[in-house]
Amino acid sequence: MKKWIVAGAVLLSGCTQITNYNMAVKTPAPDSLQGIWQTSGPQSGLISEKATGTLIITHEGDTLDCRQWQRVIAKPGKLTVLDGDYVNINRQLRVMPLELDGETLNYDKLELHRVARPTVECQKALEAVKAQPNARVIQDIQIDSLSENAATVAAPKA
Task: Determine the pLDDT at residue 18.
Answer: 81
Residue 156 in any domain: the answer is no
Predicted confidence (pLDDT) per residue in 97-115, tens digit: 999 999 999 999 999 999 9
Task: Determine the pLDDT at residue 145.
Answer: 57
Task: Determine the pLDDT at residue 45.
Answer: 78
What would the DSSP string read from start to end of 34-90? -EEEE--S--TTSSSTT-EEEEEE-TTSEEEEEEESSSEEEEEEEEEEETTEEEEEE
Residue 61 in any domain: the answer is yes
Domain count, the chain: 1
Task: Determine the pLDDT at residue 51.
Answer: 85
Residue 101 in any domain: the answer is yes
Task: Determine the pLDDT at residue 11.
Answer: 39
User: Is the full-model pTM beyond 0.85?
Assistant: no
Q: Which residues pair with 90 in a beta bridge?
A: 77
What would the DSSP string read from start to end of 114-156? EESS--HHHHHHHHHHHHSTT-S-B--PPPPPGGG-PPPBPPP
Task: Determine the pLDDT at residue 58.
Answer: 98
Return the SS3 of 29. Answer: coil
Task: Determine the pLDDT at residue 107.
Answer: 95
For residues 39 and 53, is the Cβ–Cβ distance under 8 A?
A: yes
Q: What's the CATH code of the domain at 32? A: 2.40.128.500
Residue 1 in any domain: the answer is no
Residue 80 in any domain: the answer is yes
For residues 155 and 91, is the Cβ–Cβ distance under 8 A?
A: no
Task: Determine the pLDDT at residue 16.
Answer: 59
- Residue 52's alpha-carbon distances to 55, 89, 97, 149, in angstroms, are 10, 20, 19, 10
User: pLDDT below 50 — which residues of the chain?
Assistant: 1-14, 146-158
Residue 91 in any domain: the answer is yes
Residue range of the domain that includes 62: 21-148
